């Protein structure tokens, strides 16, 4: 029987990835959600993205949101940037953990940032140097790692080659995004095998969408392969503006419920997290997909001894 990790780190992405696919909500509401999440025991939060407001109007107030956020002690906050200008804004705001994204699919990359995957990788190499020069860490997120809404299946060898490139250019860690929810346990296993055959030492994080209902199964497969870092979004908020039909992210409270019941610690107070998910529903004014919000008895707050 595969031995599972005793502890998992979840990065909460609702304030950025979640809200960027919703109708814009007021700045006060964004700050309220961010601060509420900071009080749940989650230790990593993707707070904002520094993008052009015409591209993602939901993030137009990123500077103000971050300036007004409480910034709880012990919580590591990160920001997503698309280019050098975004990175400069993030550094000026004080972020030391910064993410940049590239799509494994050339078509999706062009829809997302209007350039080829190779062109983005050239830009990312320069961005990594900029971030390291400012004392910040650089995480490269590879979107459409398991499939693309325009090109179909993604070859794990292509993703592994992108990892080769960004690691050579100095990336501190890599993340794999299931942008369309095409991931399955088989695809997770094949991707991680391909990457680890060549870069076993590189810290990895997985980001699952639940479009086809496989997010928790994918997480379990990754756990069995030794992965201990995942993204999740409160209430299942989110999607992708450039992936038609992609539904929300893996709901944080669903992930925590499953992990705690398996005896895996997250450091997160599940009851407090569910209260924030209920808040998120009110803020976006729609029912969110999280099953935990409408289920019966909840698992214990902390895993059993």
Confidence check: pLDDT of 248 > 90: no
Q: Three-state SS across the chain?
A: CCCCCCECEEEECHHHHHHHHCCCCCHHHHHHHHHHHHCCCCCEEEEEECCCCCCCHHHCCHHHHHHHCCCCCCCEEEEEECCHHHHHHHHHHCCCEEEEEEECCHHHHHHHHCCCHHHHHHHHHHHHHHHHHCCCEEEEEEECCCEECCCEECCHHHHHHHHHHHHHCCCCEEEEEECCCCCCHHHHHHHHHHHHHHHCCCCEEEEEECCCCCHHHHHHHHHHCCCCEEEEEHHHCCCCCCCCCCCCECEHHHHHHHHHHCCCECCCCHHHHHHHHHHHHHHHCCCCCCCHHHCCCCCCCCCCC
Confidence check: pLDDT of 78 > 50: yes
CATH number of 9-295: 3.20.20.70
CB atoms within 10 A of CB 268: 25
**Given 240, 250, 255, 284, which residue is catalytic?**
240
pLDDT of residue 295: 80
- Average pLDDT of the chain? 93
Closest CA to 190 of 230, 234, 147, 240: 147
Is residue 305 very low, low, confident or very high in pLDDT (cuts 50, 70, 90)? very low
Confidence check: pLDDT of 213 > 80: yes
Confidence check: pLDDT of 302 > 90: no
Is 148 an active-site residue?
Answer: no
More confident residue, 242 or 53: 53
Confidence check: pLDDT of 93 > 50: yes
pLDDT of residue 237: 93
pTM of the model: 0.94
Is residue 2 very low, low, confident or very high in pLDDT (cuts 50, 70, 90)? confident
CB atoms within 10 A of CB 279: 17
- Per-residue pLDDT reduced to its tens digit, 218-229: 999 999 999 999
pLDDT of residue 95: 98
- Per-residue pLDDT reduced to its tens digit, 7-40: 999 999 999 999 998 899 999 999 999 999 999 9
- Per-residue pLDDT reduced to its tens digit, 131-171: 999 999 999 999 999 999 899 999 999 999 999 999 999 99
Is residue 238 very low, low, confident or very high in pLDDT (cuts 50, 70, 90)? confident
Is residue 297 very low, low, confident or very high in pLDDT (cuts 50, 70, 90)? low
More confident residue, 304 or 21: 21
HSE-up of residue 64 (Cα within 13 Å, Cβ side):
10
pLDDT of residue 242: 53
- Per-residue pLDDT reduced to its tens digit, 182-201: 999 999 999 999 999 999 99
Domain ranges, ordered by start, for the chain? 9-295
Is residue 304 very low, low, confident or very high in pLDDT (cuts 50, 70, 90)? very low
């Amino acid at each position: 029987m595969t031995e599972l990790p005793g502890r998992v780190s979840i990065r909460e992405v609702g304030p950025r990835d979640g809200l960027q696919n919703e109708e814009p909500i007021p700045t006060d509401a964004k700050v309220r959600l961010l601060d509420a999440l900071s009080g749940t025991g989650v230790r990593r939060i993707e707070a904002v993205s520094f993008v052009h407001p015409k591209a993602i109007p939901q993030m137009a107030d990123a500077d103000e949101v971050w300036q007004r956020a409480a910034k709880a002690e012990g919580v590591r906050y990160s920001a997503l940037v698309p280019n050098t200008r975004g990175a400069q804004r993030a550094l000026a705001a004080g972020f030391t953990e910064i993410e940049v994204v590239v799509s494994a699919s050339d078509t999706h990359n062009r829809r997302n940032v209007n350039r080829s995957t190779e062109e983005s990788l050239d830009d990312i190499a320069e961005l990594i140097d900029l971030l390291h020069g400012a004392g910040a860490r650089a995480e490269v997120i590879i979107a459409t790692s398991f499939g693309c809404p325009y090109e179909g299946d993604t070859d794990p060898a292509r993703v592994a080659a992108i990892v080769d490139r960004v690691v050579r250019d100095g990336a501190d860690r890599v993340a794999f995004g299931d942008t369309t929810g095409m991931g399955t346990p088989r695809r997770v296993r094949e991707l991680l095998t391909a990457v680890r055959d060549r870069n076993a030492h590189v810290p990895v994080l997985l980001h699952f969408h639940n479009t086809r209902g496989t997010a928790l199964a994918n997480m379990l497969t990754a756990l069995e392969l030794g992965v201990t870092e995942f993204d999740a979004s409160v209430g299942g908020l989110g999607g992708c503006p450039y992936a038609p039909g992609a539904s929300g992210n893996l709901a944080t409270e669903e992930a925590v419920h499953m992990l705690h019941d398996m005896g895996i610690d997250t450091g997160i107070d599940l009851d407090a997290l569910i209260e924030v998910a209920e808040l998120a529903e009110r803020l976006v004014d729609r029912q969110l997909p999280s099953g935990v919000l409408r289920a019966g008895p909840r698992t214990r707050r902390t895993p059993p001894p």
